[in-house]
Amino acid sequence: MFAAFVLAAVVHGRVVFEQEPVPGVEVTLGTSRVRTDIDGRYTFNDIVPGRYDIEYKLDGFYTERESLFVRAGDDDLRDRSLSVIRTMVADDNKSPCETEHAEKWGFPWCSDYELDGALEKAMTDGDRSAVRMLQQRYETQSNVLERLRIAGMLLRHVDDDSKYWNDVVHFAEDALRFGGHEEALKAFCAKESIEPSDYDAVLTGAFMIASEDRRSNALMRRALESHSNSILVCAVVGLAAQRDESALQAIDMMLEREGDNARDAAFCLADYRTEAADAIAAKYLHPDDRDSYATLRKLRR
């Protein structure tokens, strides 16, 4: 037993991305498996010296593998840097991130965007260390759009999410305030030295995050009075996600007011997946829209 103890090895190291620690990475050494902690560190105890394959795996990143010879005693491995799988969604052929020149307003760094997306996946898979990592990244994120994105990820995943909710709803209120009032938005942005398109992207993102949370119910109902088509569409989607069928009468009144502009918002009633919502939508859709609506309704099941 003494000889076995002497020969046993401890293998440890750290996983990073862009020099930042990555929690929740599944590290496999031979037949042993652990996950990295909030500092990106992992440890294997009582390993028999010899040659092994070690693997680092986390959704959103390429799986990294290497061979190593484990020596008796304490074997401290070099940092393993992961590479992100590029799976970004294009919007009008634009990436939601920047590979250079990312600033406070506008798109965030791609490295931040991708790492936070991977951490969100780890969090939804039950990795609590990813929650703590996202909280840390929220506190240090200088790009407003990405900070709000992280806030949205953390909503309902921490015991007290009021700080994150207040951050999101502040900009969601501004979205309603400036929606359909382009000159007012330009005047505000000129005063604050912000590019209007950058601030509009922040407002749209915040409004979308807030819309599906029941705490935004009063805000979404007020949004039905907006003169912005995008705000109206988002409000209907949000109220449907909240399962608020009592809002259908107000939505009906909004669609009647919008007249020929009601089509986009009427399509969103498919998200309710109820006959009452379908009946309202039918009043405002063109006859040749019915099949498209029916298909959309099936996809929402």
Map out the domains of the chain as residue ranges. Answer: 2-81, 161-299
Judge contact between 17 and 81, C-beta under 8 A: yes
For the record, the structure tokens of 299 come out as 């996809």
d(CA 123, CA 153): 9
- Orientation angle between helical segments 110-124 and 144-154, nearest 10 degrees: 0
Confidence of residue 95 (pLDDT cuts 50, 70, 90): low
Residue 88 confidence (pLDDT): 39
Q: What is the mean pLDDT of residues 92-112?
A: 77
CATH class label, 2-81? mainly beta
Give the pLDDT confidence score for residue 7 in this predicted structure: 65
The one-letter amino acid at 203? L
pLDDT for res 300: 65
In 3-state terms, what secondary structure has residue 148?
helix
Query: Confidence class of residue 75 from pLDDT cuts 50, 70 and 90?
Result: confident
Cβ distance 244 to 217 under 8 Å? yes
Mean pLDDT throughout 164-189? 94
- Of residues 220 and 294, more confidently modeled: 220
Average pLDDT over residues 98-127: 85
pLDDT 10s digits, 221-253: 999 999 898 899 999 999 999 999 999 999 999
Predicted confidence (pLDDT) per residue in 129-151, tens digit: 889 889 999 999 999 999 999 99
Residue 91 in this model has a pLDDT that exceeds 50: no
Q: What count of other Cβ atoms lies within 10 Å of the Cβ of residue 194?
A: 18
Residue 115: exposed, middle, or buried by beta-carbon count in 10 A (0-12, 13-18, 19+)? buried
As a whole number, the mean pLDDT across the chain is: 87
